Every structure is written in C-alpha cells, then in structure tokens.
Structure 1
Amino acid sequence: MKWGKNSNYIILNVSIFFITSFFLIPVIWQVLTSIKTSEDISTIPNIYFPKLITFEHYVELFKRRPFVLYIFNSIFVSTISTIICLVIGSPAAYILARINIHSKNLILILISIVSLFPYVLLFLGLLETIRFLNLGNNYLALIIPYSGINLPLTILIMRSFFQKLPKELEDAARIDGYKIIPMLTQILLPLTFPALVTTGILTFIFTWNEYIFSLTFITRETMKTIPVATAQIGGSSVFEIPYGPISAATVLGTFPLILLVFFFQKRIVAGLTAGAVKG
C-alpha cells in the first residue's frame, strides 16, 4: 500500500515535470535566442546556451522601428476592449441570470452559438463594414470587433457567477432602498470581482494576441500592434531572417501578459474555482 502511494506520487511529479517542460522549453528557447549574438544564432550545430550575452537585439528593436508605439497601441486597444466587454457584459449577464425576460432561453442559445463561432469567418463582413464606415487606420476598427467577439463569453461567464450568488443579498438590498444599478455596482459586482478579473484577462489576452484583423484593418506604421509589428520585422537583405530581433520582440510582447497573470493569479484561481465546492 505504501509503495502504491509512493509510486503514484512519483508518477504525478514526473508527469508534471514533463508537461511543464513541454510548454516552457519553447519560451526558454526564445529568451535564449534573444540574448545570443548573431554569430551564435547562425552557428551549426546549434549553440543552446549563449557564449556571450548581448542585448543588441532589444536595442535594435527600438532603434529601427517605433516599438514603444506598438506596445502602446496593443495596451490601448486591449484595455479599451476589455473595459467595454465588462461594462456591457456584466449588466447583460445579471439580467439574463436574475430577471425573467421574454425569450431568455433563445437569447442564451444565440449567445452560446456566437461564442463558439469562429471569428475568422466574420472577416469579410467586417472588412466591408469598415470600408463603408471609413474606419480604416482607426483604433475603432479593432476595438469594436474585439469587443463584439469577446462579449458573448463575458456574458456567459458572468451569468454563471451571478446565478451562484444568494438571492437573499438582493432582497436585503431592495429592502434597504437599492435600485438595480446601484445594487449591481456597489454590492454584486464586488462579490464577483474574481469573475471580472478572469473574464477581463481572457479578453485582454485574446485582443493582445489577435493578428488577422490588426494586419488588415490597420496599415499605418505608427498604429500597428505588437503581433503585426513582430511578424513584419525584416533583415538587412531579402534572404536574411532576423531571428534575434524577432525573438526579442516576442519576449517583449509576452512579458506584459506574464506580469498581468502573475499579478492577478490569486484572483484568476478564485474565479476559475468559485462554486466548485459547496458547503
């Protein structure tokens, strides 16, 4: 019996090690490539660990292109889209969770279908709409589609959290004279803060990493986002692939997301596990 427990423990830890390594090795490889010299990167066979650490690829990013603007563009578009999703999605989720409205089940079915719909299939329709509204090279050309794509998921997640809250809280608030909006903003939303953080981060990450819409709807150099700017990094000649600058741009583009998840990790875990255990 004791050996069985020990063997399970060993298998569990070995499995965790291999799974973690599987996901971390590409990240570590990108980081190491970003601090290698160009000679070490092009050497055959590969040099896995740099002989000389250099930050020339990071410096090159900011010298050759306005990379600070790319970071600002991604932060601005992602933040505004996330705020819009939470501001619109939270009241909508509360209404669908607590208030009996006509055809509520049909609305939920439609929201579920839209949340599962591949957003790439919306590309041609959005392109024609943006042309018609003359929104090309405008932040709204990204903010509006991103908000619309992430809104169904926000509504579904927030609705599940509102359903878990005891109705006695709302009854007590109504007795104290609270209307729906003050009750939602002052009492219910603070209780669902882990859900707000979880859905907000999911929306932010999707918006930050999105490539196709950003590539097509924004062509002005100073308005491009990090994924597009990284993909368009070129070498000194047509035949040169600048692995160093691309790796540096990838690391810089991922670092804000790592900080975001690290800072809110407790809230994310609380949001994902809330309601999993009753009692």
Structure 2
Amino acid sequence: MSTTAVKPPRRRGRRRVFNTVNVSAVVIALVTAAPIYWLLVNSITPTGEMGTLPPTFWPSEPTLTHYEEAFGQHAFGRYVFNSLLVACLATTFVLGLSLFAGYALARMPVRGKGPIMVFLLMISVFPTIAVVTPLYMIERSLGLLNTHVGLILPYVAFNLPFAVWIMRNYLKDLPYELEESAQIDGASTTRTVWSVILPTVRPGLFAVGVFTFTACLTEFLMAMTFNSEDDMRTVPVGIALFGSEFEVPFGTIFAASVATVLPIAVLALVFRRAVVAGMTAGAVKG
C-alpha cells in the first residue's frame, strides 16, 4: 500500500502574508493621505462650513477665496520668494560640498575617516534649539540678521553632515576603474569628479537635494529667530503669524499650507525613483 506525503500548505501561508502586507500598505497609505486630503478640502471650504458637525468631506460650494486672501491680503508671495531663494541656494551649496567631501572620504587616503564619520553623524542629529542662541549672537555681531545669507549659512551647516554621510556611502563601492581610466587620459581629480563620478552618482545627489530642499523650505526655528522683519520672513514663519489677537484665519492658513506643500509633492513625485535609489544605496553601502 503506497502512501503519499502530505505537503504543508505553503501557498496559503504565503497568501496570508501577502494579504497582510497589502492590507497594511493600504492602511498606511490612508493614514498618510488623510491629513493631506483634509488640508486640501479645508483650503477650498467656505469659512461658515468649517468645524460643522457632522464634518463634511467635501464642501457644498468650493471656493478659492482663501487662496486669494493668502496671496492678496498677506505678503505671502514675498514669503514664498524668500523660502525658495534660501532653500535653492542652500541646496546648491550642500550638493557641491557633499559631492567633493564624500569623494574625499570614500576614495582618498584620509586619516581618521572613522572619527570623522562619527562626528558627522553626531552633528546631523544635534538639536537645533541647543545652538540657536549662540548662532543668533554670532549673526548679530556679523550683521547677518534679517538677511538671506543669515539663513543660508546655518542651513548649509546643519544639512551638510547628513549629505556627506549619504554621498560617502554611495561613492564608497564605485569601481575604481572609472577613475583609473580618467587618470590614464590625464584628467585631474576635479575633472574626474565632474566628468566621470558625477554622472554615476545622480541618484544620490537627487536624494540629498530633495531632502535638503525640503528641510530648508520647512525649517521654522532659525527662520523665526534670525529674521524678524516682515519682508525677510519665510513661509513657515509667515503662516504662523497670519492670525491676530481676535481671529485665526484657518482657511487662509490651510490655503497657504497647500501652496507650501505643493512644490515638495511635485519634487517627490518627479524624482521618486532617484530618491529611493539614492537612499537605498546610501543606507546599504556602509
């Protein structure tokens, strides 16, 4: 009498795991998207409909009045200009410096690489509030308060360590044949970095650029402390000061917040593959 071995139900187990992962992904996506949806809906909801019970998930009469108030009654356009200028310039400096610093730490015989990387990691997690007062005193003595430079310099200083860490890990495992072929052709180190290394590390640069730009665009504490004049305020500070003693214009705040989140969302969508590739490589190549 022949007997057949009963195989364990592997497919059912795999399907359960697969279904659990799918359900978890859907739940996480809904939880993440809910605040963004609520922000967008309230930005086009008339003031009289806000805060009603039960809440409405879509306004009966959508309006763009809050956007008109944000860009009309307030100096929101000036805030946007300040934020974009500071974020773009700071990101540009961080990209250039992190590329060469990461290349030096990854490809050149630099002494003390381990302590340097530990020091960079410590700086990247250092709380801003612990140094904002000394920085304020330094900038006041140098005459940098209420200037764009007064924000660009600390933004570069605080975002550069994390950028160098990512670029160093990304450059670490690149094949040395790329540089050897360039050196045989007589290229200098600078020419090698710009002509040979730069095209191969674009995903890492995209990741650094998006994260640095987002951090600079949404930073609040230093922008609030260093720039007190209305013409020099950035978007986060300007939105926080929209309210008055007797009124908080929630609709205007929602509209301004949507206009602030929009460029970040566009960046994330356009460069999502490059950002994921750069962050994955920077995390795995230790």
TM-score (norm 2): 0.92
Q: 1:272 to 1:105 in 2, by over 3 A?
A: closer
- Provide the C-alpha distance between the structure 2 equivalents of 1:35 and 1:275, rounded to a whole number of angstroms: 40
> Which of residues 244, 251, 259 is equivalent to 1:244?
251
Aligned to 1:15: 24
Contact 1:31 1:247 in 2 (8 A): yes
Q: Give the superposition deviation at 1:275.
A: 7.6
From 181, 196, 208, the equivalent of 1:187 is 196
2:133 pairs with one of 120, 124, 129: 124
Specify the alignment match of 1:271 in structure 2. 278
The match for 1:113 is 122
Per the alignment, in what secondary structure is the counterpart of residue 178 of structure 2?
A: helix
Report the TM-score when normalising by structure 1.
0.94
- Aligned residue number for residue 59 of structure 1: 68
- Determine the C-alpha separation between the residues in 1 that align with 2:99 and 2:268: 21
- Assess if the C-alpha contact under 8 Å between 1:84 and 1:147 holds in 2: yes
Asked if the contact 1:234/1:242 (under 8 Å) is kept, the reply is yes
2-side partners of 1:32 and 1:275: how far apart? 37
Query: Could you say what secondary structure the match of 1:274 adopts?
Result: helix
Q: What residue ranges of structure 1 are gaps of 5+ in the alignment?
A: none
Deviation at 1:125, TM superposition (A): 1.0
Aligned to 1:141: 150
Corresponding residue to 1:90 among 99, 115, 130: 99
- Provide the secondary structure at the position in 1 that maps to 2:239: helix
Decide whether the 8 Å contact of 1:90 with 1:155 is kept in 2.
yes
Aligned-partner residue type, residue 124 of structure 1:
T
Q: Is the 8 A contact 1:164 1:275 kept in 2?
A: no
Query: Which residue is equivalent to 2:175?
Result: 166
State the alpha-carbon separation in 1 of the partners of residues 249 and 237 from structure 2: 15
Percent identity of paired positions between Structure 1 and Structure 2: 34
Computed over aligned residues only, the root mean square deviation of the Cα atoms, in angstroms, reads 1.7
Partner of 1:72: 81
Shift of 1:107: 2.3
Bigger drift between 184-193 and 37-46 goes to 37-46
Q: How many equivalent pairs are there? A: 276
User: One-letter code of the match for 2:80?
Assistant: I
How much does 1:258 deviate?
A: 0.3
**Matched letter for residue 30 of structure 1:** L
Select which of 255, 262, 265 maps to 2:262: 255
Q: Secondary structure of 1:137's match? A: coil
Q: 1:120-140, CA deviations, whole angstroms, 9 ceiling, x for partnerless residues?
A: 211111011011101111001
Counterpart-to-counterpart distance in 2, 1:277 and 1:137: 41
Deviations 1:84-115 (A, max 9, x none): 11111211111111111333333222222212
Tell me by how many angstroms 1:45 deviates: 3.7
> Which has more radius of gyration?
2
Match of 2:50 among 41, 56, 66: 41
CA contact (8 A) 1:77 1:139 kept: yes
Q: 2:219 aligns with which of 204, 207, 210?
A: 210
